[in-house]
């Protein structure tokens, strides 16, 4: 009987695997009013149709930013994973390209990274035409369902035509599984000290560091994370990179991002980070507490671009704008999920600890259509923003007066249905918050509605808030990017009003700029 069941399992899994390979390869674009559906993001990347989760293989090459992503073209719920593909020249406007990687006999194509092999260490490229190499996890469903622990392995593929077509390495997998049930999400980078490729790989409750001279042959260097950091769930999608401290190029630290599911600060999935040293073999942690790259409910699988030119010098991240608690059931239409805005990451030293800050990349400014300046003054209850634009960007600077200071102030989005979303700072509790208890549809998940917080004690009277508001999301960057919160929402009618509010006292609006943002899909809409 066991043999019969196993045969049936293999047949079913194989059917699923190879039927998914029969997809057209090109995202469907024949739907009327594409990118104009209810809740459809207008300034964030989302797939034309189908399911999307983790960003993958983010790499810059010859003037193009490549965004690959976990993709299932045949449904709006998670299924056999492919690598979807889009490119951009400005990080804002994206062109959808055909699917890059399909499942095969070794498994689904899970998360990973991509690099430009400029020295042709792999032998896949030619002089003057380096190969782009993708490093990804194979997930074998037959092995998983059979109860094995080695069903995740690492494979590679290469492209010599700027990522338009891909060839999988004939000797895959390049890194077999040592018997670890969760063994995935390779992030690869070149280490200039050891002159080797370094792979940072999630392995259950910790990360493993592997090295390779050629992207094909890998050796274990060290492990990190057992008993360190947050461990409320499995570790996933790690990323290791170096950043200057306080902008000083002669003082650098290594940052290790590790995404975790569940176990986030407000429930479900989230991205934590560590700061320390990496000598090409071992990571030494210097963080003294658990730190989160984003304390909102909806930023996961945060990873950064490879191969951004030194002349640019930025470290740019993108995350998946959802949460595994409800990602499969959010009330969208022909598509599911979006990405966060690309963010520039910086590392500062403050109060004897290192803090990873985030702000939207400067390229966001290309979307600005118009600007409204708010008149400075005291807010003692509400201040309406006339003719509020949507989508919108708000840059607000507040200060608390010496007497009769507000205990709670912020920004309210609202509509004619009486639904609202509050983004603010609670002085009494010492925390920023997003309140989506009355923000519209939430009955699809018991974990969706709520007040989500990011603790932050003021050291003075000034509070700055930078917000990007889309059809169904808000990203808050406060206190110079030291506080970041990403939240999605689903009002039954789009939010049409914006007001500033103050409770139990006054708050001074020192300056305020409101920008109307153009859609990144203006040329795509039918």
CA dihedral 153, 337, 318, 139 (to 10 degrees): 0
Residues 6+ apart with CB under 8 A from 246: 347, 348, 349
Same domain, 257 and 368: no
- 29 within domain boundaries: no
* Res. 2: pLDDT tops 60: no
Which CATH number characterizes residue 7's domain? Answer: 2.115.10.20
pLDDT surpasses 90 at 33: no
Q: Is residue 37 part of a domain?
A: no
Q: Are residues 328 and 418 in the same domain?
A: no
> Is the confidence at residue 452, as pLDDT, over 80?
yes
Domain count, the chain: 2
Residue 122 lies in a domain: yes
Distance CA 241, CA 218 (A): 19
Mean pLDDT rounded to a whole number for the chain: 93
pLDDT one-digit tens code per residue, 69-121: 999 999 999 999 999 999 999 999 999 999 999 999 999 999 999 999 999 99
What's the pLDDT score for residue 24? 43
Report the percentage of the chain scoring pLDDT > 70.
Answer: 93
404 token code pair = 């009769």
Pick the closest to residue 412 from 345, 449, 465, 356 (CA basis). Answer: 465
Q: What is the CATH number of the domain that holds 408?
A: 2.60.120.560
3-class secondary structure, 5: helix
Q: Of 175, 191, 229, 232, which is closest to residue 207 (Cα–Cα)?
A: 229
Picking from 360, 378, 405, the residue at the C-terminal end of a domain is 360
Is 54 part of the annotated catalytic residue set?
A: yes
CA distance 448 to 469: 19
In tens, the pLDDT along 247-276 reads 998 999 999 999 999 999 999 999 999 999
- On whether both 352 and 212 belong to a single domain, the answer is yes
- Three-state DSSP at 270 gives strand
Is 525 contained in some domain? no
What's the confidence (pLDDT) of residue 21?
Answer: 38
Question: Can you tell me the distance from the alpha carbon of 125 to that of 117, in angstroms, rounded to the nearest whole number?
Answer: 8
User: Of 509, 465, 459, which is closest to residue 484 (Cα–Cα)?
Assistant: 465
What whole-number distance in Å separates Cα of residue 223 and Cα of residue 516? 47
50: exposed, middle or buried (C-beta count within 10 Å: 0-12, 13-18, 19+)?
buried
Q: Residue 496 has which token pair?
A: 């049409």
Q: Are residues 338 and 402 in the same domain?
A: no
Look up residue 362 and give its DSSP letter. Answer: G
* Position 16 pLDDT exceeds 90: no
CA dihedral defined by 107, 111, 116, 120, rounded to 10 degrees? Answer: -40
Whether residue 134 is contained in a domain is answered as yes
What pTM value is reported for the model? 0.94
- Contact by Cβ (8 Å): 525, 33: yes
Place of tokens 């964030």: 44
Q: In a 3-state reduction of DSSP, which class is residue 279?
A: coil
Residues 317 and 385 reside in one and the same domain: no
Weakest mean pLDDT among 9-18, 314-323, 352-361, 422-431: 9-18
Distance CA 235, CA 272 (A): 10
Determine the structural domain holding residue 101 and report its residue range.
Answer: 2-20+48-360
394 pLDDT above the threshold of 60: yes
Residue 1, pLDDT score: 37
Question: For residues 490 and 502, what is the distance between their CA atoms, to the nearest angstrom?
Answer: 25
Secondary structure (3-state) at 432:
strand
Asked whether residue 277 falls in the same domain as residue 392, the answer is no
Give CA 74 to chain center in angstroms: 23
Q: How far apart are CA 5 and CA 11, in angstroms?
A: 10
Is residue 323 domain-shared with residue 370, that is, in the same domain? no
Instruction: Say how far apart CA 154 and CA 131 lie, in whole Å.
Output: 18
342 within domain boundaries: yes
pLDDT of residue 524: 55
pLDDT of residue 13: 39
User: Torsion angle, CA of 82/344/485/92, rounded to 10 degrees?
Assistant: -60
pLDDT band at 22 (very low <50, low <70, confident <90, very high): very low
Specify whether 373 is located in the same domain as 340.
no
Indicate whether 478 and 511 sit together in one domain: yes
Name the 3-class secondary structure at 443. Answer: coil
Distance between CA atoms of 81 and 104, rounded to whole angstroms? 10
Residues 199 and 303 placed together within one structural domain of the fold:
yes
Residue 172: φ, ψ to 5°: -60, 150
Give the whole-angstrom CA distance, residue 477 versus residue 264: 18
Q: Are strands 451-455 and 462-470 parallel, antiparallel or unpaired?
A: unpaired
In a domain? residue 112: yes
Contact in structure between 259 and 246 (CB atoms under 8 Å): no
Assigned domain for 33 exists:
no
Confidence of residue 17 (pLDDT cuts 50, 70, 90): very low
Residues 356 and 366 in one domain: no
Please answer whether residues 368 and 515 qualify as being in contact, where contact means their C-beta atoms are separated by less than 8 angstroms: yes
Mean pLDDT for 45-69 is 98
At 254, list the tokens: 């290594």
Q: Do 342 and 398 have their domain in common?
A: no
Query: Do residues 364 and 341 touch, judged by C-beta distance below 8 A?
Result: yes
Q: Which candidate, 117, 196, 206, 112, places its Cα nearest to that of 152?
A: 112
The active-site residue, picked from 54, 117, 298, 470, is: 54
pLDDT in tens, 119-153: 999 999 999 999 999 999 999 999 999 999 999 99
Whether omega before 262 lies within 30 degrees of 0, making that bond cis, reads: yes
User: Number of C-alpha atoms within 13 angstroms, CB side, residue 284?
Assistant: 6
Choosing from 344, 360, 376, the residue where a domain stops is: 360
pLDDT (0 to 100) of residue 468? 98
Identify the three-state secondary structure at position 523.
coil
When pLDDT is cut at 50, 70 and 90, the band that residue 523 belongs to is low
- Look at residues 336, 360, 384 and tell me which one is the last residue of a structural domain: 360
């Amino acid at each position: 009987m066991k043999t019969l069941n196993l045969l049936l399992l293999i047949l079913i899994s194989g059917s699923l695997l190879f039927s998914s390979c029969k997809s057209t390869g090109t995202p469907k674009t024949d739907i009327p009013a594409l990118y104009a559906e209810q809740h459809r993001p207008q300034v964030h990347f989302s797939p034309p149709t189908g399911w999307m989760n983790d960003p993958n293989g983010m790499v810059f090459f010859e003037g193009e930013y490549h965004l690959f992503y976990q993709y299932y073209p045949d449904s709006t719920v998670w299924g056999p994973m492919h690598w979807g593909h889009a490119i951009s020249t400005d990080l804002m406007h994206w062109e959808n390209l055909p699917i890059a990687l399909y499942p095969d006999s070794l498994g689904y194509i899970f998360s990973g990274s991509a690099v430009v092999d400029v020295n042709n260490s792999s032998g896949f490229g030619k002089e003057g035409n380096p190969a782009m190499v993708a490093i990804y996890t194979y997930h074998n469903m037959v092995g998983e369902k059979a109860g094995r622990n080695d069903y995740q392995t690492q494979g590679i593929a290469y492209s010599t035509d700027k990522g338009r077509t891909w060839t999988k390495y004939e000797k895959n997998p390049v890194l077999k599984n040592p018997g670890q049930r969760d063994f995935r999400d390779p992030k690869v980078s070149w280490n200039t000290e050891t002159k080797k490729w370094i792979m940072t790989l999630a392995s259950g409750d910790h990360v493993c560091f592997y090295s390779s001279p050629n992207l094909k042959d890998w050796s274990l260097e060290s492990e990190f994370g057992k008993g360190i950091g947050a461990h409320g769930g499995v570790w996933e999608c790690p990323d290791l990179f170096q950043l200057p401290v306080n902008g000083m190029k002669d003082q650098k630290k290594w940052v290790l991002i590790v995404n975790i599911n569940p176990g986030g600060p407000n429930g479900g999935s989230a991205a934590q980070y560590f700061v320390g040293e990496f000598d090409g073999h071992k990571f030494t942690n210097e963080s003294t507490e658990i730190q989160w790259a984003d304390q909102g409910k909806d930023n996961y699988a945060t990873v950064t671009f490879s191969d951004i030119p030194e002349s640019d010098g930025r470290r740019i991240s993108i995350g998946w704008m959802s949460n595994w608690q409800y990602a499969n059931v959010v009330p969208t239409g022909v598509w599911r999920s979006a990405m966060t805005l690309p963010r520039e990451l910086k590392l500062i030293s403050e109060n004897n600890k290192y803090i990873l800050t985030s702000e939207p990349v400067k390229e966001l400014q290309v979307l600005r259509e118009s600007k409204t300046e708010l008149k400075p003054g005291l807010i003692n209850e509400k201040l309406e923003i006339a003719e509020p634009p949507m989508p919108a960007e708000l840059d607000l600077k507040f200060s608390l007066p010496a007497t009769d200071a507000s205990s709670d102030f912020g920004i309210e989005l609202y509509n004619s249905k009486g639904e609202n979303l509050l983004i603010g700072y609670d002085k009494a509790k010492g925390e920023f918050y997003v309140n989506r208890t009355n923000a519209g549809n939430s009955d699809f998940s018991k974990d969706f509605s709520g007040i989500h917080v990011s603790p932050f004690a003021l050291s003075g009277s000034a509070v700055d808030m930078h917000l990007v508001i889309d059809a169904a999301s808000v990203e808050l960057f406060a206190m110079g990017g030291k506080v970041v919160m990403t939240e999605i929402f689903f009002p039954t009618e789009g939010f049409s009003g914006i007001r500033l509010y103050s409770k139990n006292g006054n708050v001074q609006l020192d300056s305020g700029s409101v920008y109307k943002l153009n859609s990144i899909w203006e040329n795509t809409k039918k």
